[in-house]
Amino acid sequence: MAVAREPELVRGPLSVGEARREMVAAVPTLGSEMVPVGAALGGRFLAEAVTARVTLPPFASSAMDGYAVRVADVQRVPCQLPVRGAMQAGSAPGSVELERGTCTKVMTGAPIPDGADAVVPYEWTNRGAEVVLIHERPRKGNAVRRAGEDLTAGQEVMPAGRRLRAVDMAPLAASGHGAVAVGRRPRVALLTTGNEIRPAGSELRPGEVYDTAGPALEALVVGAGGELARRGTVSDDPQLVRDEMRAAAQAADLVVTVGGVSMGDHDHVRAAVQEMGRLQFWRVAMRPGRPLAFGEFAGTCFLGLPGNPVSACVTFILFGAPLLWAMQGATLTEPATIVVELLEDVEKPEGLETFHRATLRHRPGRCPGARATGNQSSGVTVSLARADCLLSLPARGARLPKGSQVAAILLP
């Protein structure tokens, strides 16, 4: 990944939007692969536009069980019509021609007999077998699905870059596709740094803590469409950090580190990137998560997250997930937001975009209300578990009064 950059010491902290735009513009779009239409496509990004291979419905069909009629034959109700023939789903179009002054029984999905221009639902009749009594006069086109009403052959069904949902499988299958091309899943190497880090569930010695951010980031990587190619923990040794990052770069499309990108005596990740790669920037004017590094290491994209667990999760949601989306060819690479109303006064540091964890309150007829989940320290992981969203608070100002409307990013 070759990216042009200014010397990092010349540049001041970027805004969140500036940093995200720079990241997304710098990463490559990976190749594509064909994936069968079904569960495996959920969350994947279309590599190319999908066009319909068929017209749907391919013929005029009945939308209800009932009787196909000519409206001109039902001038007054009640009226009686003799029943001539029947059509069901799977019947060949044109296999029945409606005689004037008669009707044909049709089932949902069945072709409309030639000559018919409406369907009288069973509910409007006595459901006669040989002669039917009709109680309500239909209009032309009643309960008739026109040919091509859903799709026409050659019509674009979905654009390239769209992230697929479960409900998208229906139109993909309906348009005649058994498989579609989607962006390849990015391979991610995730490294947690620190002498004190131990796997969750292990016995802790004095001064040690559990790897808190790592498990959450694993799930966030998968949720953003990536796959873990390498997962490790490395102590605060400069050579070990370089060696582990080199191995990670060889195995992945994106190397993500947790910790080691600030200015402490034992923060060796940023130095390793500057020595064996290039650093595009390492400061963003935000909280939590100001020490955030981005660039390349040994020819592989690199994202360095803060060591505090909440900061690491928040910055991955804001930057890591959009990077993975961009690598898969996404057209939209910003987290989706909604507008919420603050249910309490909120204080924040002046000059920093701030992302408070908050819960939402549904209010019919009004925008949702939002309340912070208590202590907003970047080490309080319980605040994440209690949160529904991240309040996106602007850099300007140190206090937002109750009733203010702000953007909120829904947590994945």
Q: Where are the domains of the chain?
A: 16-30+185-327, 33-54+154-183, 61-145, 337-410
* CB contact at 8 A, 159 and 109: no
Q: What is the pLDDT of residue 181?
A: 98
- Compute CA distances 196 → 72, 269, 305, 307, 397, whole Å: 85, 16, 17, 12, 37
Q: Domain 61-145 belongs to what topology? A: Molybdopterin biosynthesis moeA protein; domain 3 (2.170.190)
Find all residues with CB under 8 Å of 365, minimum gap 6, and list them: none
Query: Quick one: CA torsion of 201, 203, 205, 208, rounded to 10 degrees?
Result: -10
User: What is the pTM assigned to this prediction?
Assistant: 0.86
Q: What is the pLDDT of residue 172?
A: 96
Read off the amino acid at residue 308.
N
User: What CA–CA distance (Å, rounded) separates 373 from 384?
Assistant: 8
Based on the number of CB atoms within 10 Å of its own CB, is 276 exposed (0-12), middle (13-18) or buried (19 or more)?
A: middle
Q: What is the pLDDT of residue 264?
A: 59
User: What CA–CA distance (Å, rounded) separates 404 from 381?
Assistant: 26
User: What CA–CA distance (Å, rounded) separates 132 from 111?
Assistant: 20
Q: What is the pLDDT of residue 266?
A: 58
How confident is the chain (412 residues) per 10-residue block, as mean pLDDT? 42 86 95 96 96 94 97 95 95 93 96 96 96 96 94 95 96 96 98 87 88 93 96 89 93 92 69 88 87 91 93 96 98 94 96 96 95 90 93 96 97 88
Phi, psi for 267 (deg, rounded to 5): -95, 95
Q: Which two tokens stand for residue 171?
A: 């139109």
In DSSP notation, 320-346 reads: IHHHHHHHTT-S--S--EEEEEESS-E
DSSP code of 111? Answer: B
Pick the CATH number of 16-30+185-327 from 1.10.390.10, 3.30.1360.120, 3.40.980.10, 3.40.50.360: 3.40.980.10
Find all residues with CB under 8 Å of 66, minimum gap 6, and list them: 105, 106, 119, 120, 121, 122, 124, 125, 143
Yes or no: domain 337-410 corresponds to CATH 2.40.340.10? yes
Q: What is the pLDDT of residue 12?
A: 64
Q: What is the pLDDT of residue 263?
A: 61
Find all residues with CB under 8 Å of 72, minimum gap 6, and list them: none
Best CA proximity match to 302, nearest among 329, 328, 325, 274: 274
Q: What is the pLDDT of residue 378?
A: 84
Instruction: Specify the CATH architecture of the domain 33-54+154-183.
Output: Alpha-Beta Complex (3.90)
Find all residues with CB under 8 Å of 344, minimum gap 6, and list them: 371, 372, 402
Q: What is the pLDDT of residue 161?
A: 97
DSSP code of 206? Answer: T
Best CA proximity match to 407, nearest among 13, 17, 12: 17
Q: What is the pLDDT of residue 11?
A: 57
HSE, CB side, 13 Å, CA atoms: give it for residue 348.
Answer: 26
